[in-house]
Structure 1
Amino acid sequence: MSTEITVFVVDDDRAVRDSLALLVQSVGLEVETFAGAQDFLDAYRPERRGCLITDLRMPDMSGLDLQERLSADRYHIPVIVLTGFGDVPAAVRALKGGAIDFVEKPFNPQALLDLVHQAIALDGEQRERAARDSERAERMALLTRREQDVMALVVAGKANKVIAMDLQISERTVELHRGRIMKKMRVRSLAELVQIVLPPSVDVV
C-alpha cells in the first residue's frame, strides 16, 4: 500500500484548480489536478491514500455523479464538494451520499485546509479498519464450522458447561475447540478474542 498522501482536485475551471493546488502544496501535501471527473477516474487507484476535492457543477459528469461512481466501485476516498452560491440543496444531497462536507465558493482557505486534514485522517482510519477486517476474515476462515459455533457462544459469555449442553458435546471437547480457536485466531485471552470478533459498538451480554 502506498504511504504517500495525495489530495486530488477535480474542477473544470483551471484557475480554481491552480488555486487549490497552490493552497494544498503550501502545507506540504502532494496534489494532482484533473479537468474532469472521467480523467480522475481513469487515473485513480484505490490503494492511493488521500482525499478528493471536487466541484459540484461540471460538464459531462458532475461532482454528484463522480461521487456515485466512486461509491458504486466501492472506492471509499473521502470527498469534499465545492459548490457555487445557490447549490446548497445539491450539496446536501452530496452529504447524504457520503461526502464529508461541502464548501461554498469563494472558499475560506484555512477552513478548506482544515477539512482536507480531517479527510486525510478519516482516510487513514478507514484503511486501518479495512485492514483489521481483512485480517479478521482471514483468521476466521481457518476455523471449522464447529469451531465457529463454539466461538460464537464463547464470545457471548457462555461457560464451557453451557456450551457443551447447547451443542450436545462434552466439556472436554469444548475445551479442545477453545484451544484451537485461540491458536487459529492468534489471541491469548478471551478479551482479545472478543475485541477481534465483535465490532466495538457491540456489547457482550
Structure 2
Amino acid sequence: MSDTASVSVIDDDESVRVALDGLLRSHGYRVKTYPSALDFLSSAGFEKTACLLSDIQMPGMTGIQLCDELCARGIEIPLIFITGLPAVPPLARPGFCGPVAVFPKPFDCGELMACIESVMRGLV
C-alpha cells in the first residue's frame, strides 16, 4: 500500500461509512469517507484514491452514474460496489468501466478485505 494512497468510501448511510472506516483503518489503510458521489467528485479525494467502495443506490448520483462519470473523465480507480439492492442491475454495457466486484449488504468483511487487498496490491 502506498503511504499516500487511500481507500475512499461513498455511502449515504452514515453507519455504513463509520463501520467501513473502522474496518479499513484496523487493517492499516488510510480512509476518506463521503456521503455522496457528488461530494467525492467535488473533492480532491479521487486524486489519491487507490480503491473506491461505493454504494449503488444513493440520492442524487448513483454509484453506477459515478462509475460512468469517472470513466468519461478518464479516471481509472478500481471500484467495488456495495449494495442493499435485492437484485443488482446489469453492470456490463458498452462504454462502462465496470466494477472489480459487487458485495451485497450485509457482506462478509473477510471477503471484502481480501478483495480490497488484491486491488491495493495491483492484482485486480
TM range (shorter): 0.7 to 0.9
Whether 1:112 aligns to 2:112 is: yes
- Identity fraction in percent: 34
* Cα distance, 1:23–1:94 mapped onto 2, change above 3 Å: farther
2:57 matched to which residue of 1?
A: 57
Q: Distance in 2 between matches of 1:11 and 1:58?
A: 7
Q: Distance in 2 between matches of 1:97 and 1:46?
A: 16
Tell me how far 1:48 sits from its aligned partner. Answer: 1.6
TM-score normalised over the length of structure 2: 0.87
Query: Which structure would you say has the larger Rg?
Result: 1
For the 8 Å contact 2:8–2:45, the answer to whether it is kept is no
Tell me how far 1:44 sits from its aligned partner. Answer: 3.4
* Cα distance, 1:46–1:38 mapped onto 2, change above 3 Å: closer
Whether 1:76 aligns to 2:76 is: yes
Q: Deviations over 1:32-66 (max 9, x none)?
A: 00000000001135542411000000000000000
2:14 matched to which residue of 1?
A: 14
TM-score normalised over the length of structure 1: 0.54
Structure 1 moving runs of 4+ over 6 Å: none
Give the strand-richer structure, 1 or 2. 2
RMSD over aligned Cα atoms? 2.2
* Cα distance, 1:44–1:11 mapped onto 2, change above 3 Å: same
The answer for unaligned runs of 5 or more in structure 1 is 127-205
Q: Distance in 1 between matches of 2:92 and 2:81?
A: 8
2:91 matched to which residue of 1?
A: 93
Matched positions, count: 121
1:102 matched to which residue of 2?
A: 102
For the 8 Å contact 1:64–1:94, the answer to whether it is kept is no
* Cα distance, 1:31–1:98 mapped onto 2, change above 3 Å: same
Output the amino acid matched with 2:91: R
Output the amino acid matched with 2:12: D
The answer for unaligned runs of 5 or more in structure 2 is none
Q: Distance in 1 between matches of 2:40 and 2:27?
A: 23
* Cα distance, 1:66–1:49 mapped onto 2, change above 3 Å: closer
1:134 matched to which residue of 2?
A: none
Q: How does 1:1-205 map to 2 (within 5 A)?
A: 3-44=3-44, 47-88=47-88, 90=89, 92-93=90-91, 97-122=97-122
